[in-house]
Amino acid sequence: MKCRKCGEAAALELRRHNAAFCVPHFTEFFRKQVREAIHHYRMFTPDETVMVAVSGGKDSLALWDVLIEEGYPTVGLYLDLGIFDYSRESREKCEAFAAARRQRLLIERVDAAIGAPIPEVQKATRRPTCSACGLSKRYLMNRAALTHGFVVVATGHNLDDEAATLFGSVMHWQTDALSRQSPALASTHPKLVRRVKPLYRLSELETAAFAFLRGIDYIVEECPFAAGATSLAHKEALNRLEAASPGVKHNFLFGFLEKARPAFERGQDVELTECASCGQVTTGEICAFCKLADQVKRRSTPLTRPSGDPSQ
Amino acid sequence: MKVILRYPKREVEIAGRRRVKELLKELEVLPETVLVIRGSELLTGDAVVGDEDVIELRPVISGGGRDDRP
């Protein structure tokens, strides 16, 4: 298979684009897609410091790598979830990445904020682990950005993540979720920072290939709590469709963003207020994170309270 | 050839030359879900692999919580 650009041996075939690229032209293609995403949604300007939420996985580290290479001022944010060896290894990957590129990495511990590491939250509240984890991450990303004075947070969500989320929302016709799904969510309240997803034009295969070809040392192992997650079932269904009809995931997501989303957006105005407990943004009196933390506090035994090492 | 798979991590031995896309089909792996790695290079579906090769099929799919606003 030959590179579409130069005719040299290809490293990756992109069936949805009916193309294949060699290593230099694939990395050029990848960066161009990120630039296009940033430009199209006006995600941030060259003067704004971007807080990049990093997990140690391929997507977020690939994103951070591109933004650094493109010359954007960045700072990393790692949220230590306290998920045993997985968190310890992923944190080490982020620290090594940041040190090698002389970038600043902020670290927030979930157990310090919520009263227990993520594995204990499910036991204390019976809320599904991925749900509690996602809620905590969104809350702490926003809070960390506000605390440190950053106006934009970038996450490594890719095309597959976005297509799977869309698929799940459509399966249940969650119109509120459909109205909010976008590669760029503007700040609609002084305490809600802008959140952007510069990798939304790139598939999971492409971000993994980019990370590998750039020599990024990322955590390959999956989070131990992800097994059986609904999002993975949705991704599998979409990948079966993709194998039969290349480009179907792209068309599903981009068709929604271009044609359908505006219709959902119009009917979903909600009033944002500040949580009476923590002051962060919510639609009710007490935000979901404070409710979760309160549940943990009330139901935890002393053994599940945070210890010195979140992975213990 | 030796093929390294993950989740769980394991190795399988497969004899004979074949194209990568045929190997993936035999192992019932969707092409969009793995990087096909030989040493420091990525292989495309039409690349031929043989008995002396060590091939890693590295999953690219990650998942977990849904994306949403606070």
Q: B46 to chain A: nearest residue by CA? A: A1
When scoring B5, B33, B60 by the number of chain A Cβ atoms within 10 A, the one with the most, hence best to mutate, is: B60
Q: What is the pLDDT of residue A271?
A: 87
Q: What is the pLDDT of residue A302?
A: 54
Query: For the packed helices A288-299 and A129-148, what is the interaxial angle rounded to 10 degrees?
Result: 120
pLDDT at B67 over 60: no
Q: Do B44 and A239 touch (CB under 8 A)?
A: no
Q: Do A203 and B31 touch (CB under 8 A)?
A: no
Q: What is the pLDDT of residue A310?
A: 38
Tokens of A256: 């929604």
Q: Do A208 and B60 touch (CB under 8 A)?
A: yes
Contacting residues for A169 by C-beta, under 8 A, at least 6 apart: A177, A178, A181
CB-nearest to A220 from B6, B32, B33 is B6
Q: What is the pLDDT of residue A312?
A: 34
DSSP E strands in B6-53: the ranges are 10-13, 18-19, 34-38, 41-42, 48-49
Q: What is the pLDDT of residue A121?
A: 87
Q: What is the pLDDT of residue A229?
A: 84
Strands of the A50-54 sheet, one edge to the other: A105-109, A74-80, A50-54, A152-154, A194-196, A184-185
How many residues would you count in chain A? 312
| pLDDT tens sequence across B29-55 | 999 999 999 999 999 999 999 999 999
Q: What is the pLDDT of residue A173?
A: 94
On whether any CB of chain B is under 8 Å from the CB of A177, the answer is yes
d(CA A288, CA A270) in angstroms, rounded, equals 16
- Tally the C-alpha atoms within 13 A of residue A181's C-alpha that lie toward its C-beta: 32
Tell me the pLDDT of chain A (312 aa) as tens digits.
Answer: 999 999 999 999 999 999 999 999 999 999 999 999 999 999 999 999 999 999 999 999 999 999 999 999 999 999 999 999 999 999 999 999 999 999 999 999 999 998 889 988 888 888 888 888 999 999 999 999 999 999 999 999 999 999 999 999 999 999 999 999 999 999 999 999 999 999 999 999 999 999 999 999 999 988 888 888 888 999 999 999 999 999 999 999 999 999 999 888 876 667 899 999 999 999 999 999 999 999 998 876 554 444 444 333
Tokens of B63: 């998942």
What pTM does this model have?
0.91
Q: What is the pLDDT of residue A88?
A: 96
Contacts of B29 in chain A (CB under 8 A): none
Q: What is the pLDDT of residue A307?
A: 45
Q: What is the pLDDT of residue A268?
A: 61
CB-nearest to A229 from B33, B35, B64 is B64
Contacts of B41 in chain A (CB under 8 A): 11
Q: What is the pLDDT of residue B70?
A: 32
Complex ipTM > 0.90 = yes
On whether any CB of chain B is under 8 Å from the CB of A272, the answer is no
Q: What is the pLDDT of residue A309?
A: 43
Q: What is the pLDDT of residue A267?
A: 63
Q: Do B65 and A168 touch (CB under 8 A)?
A: no
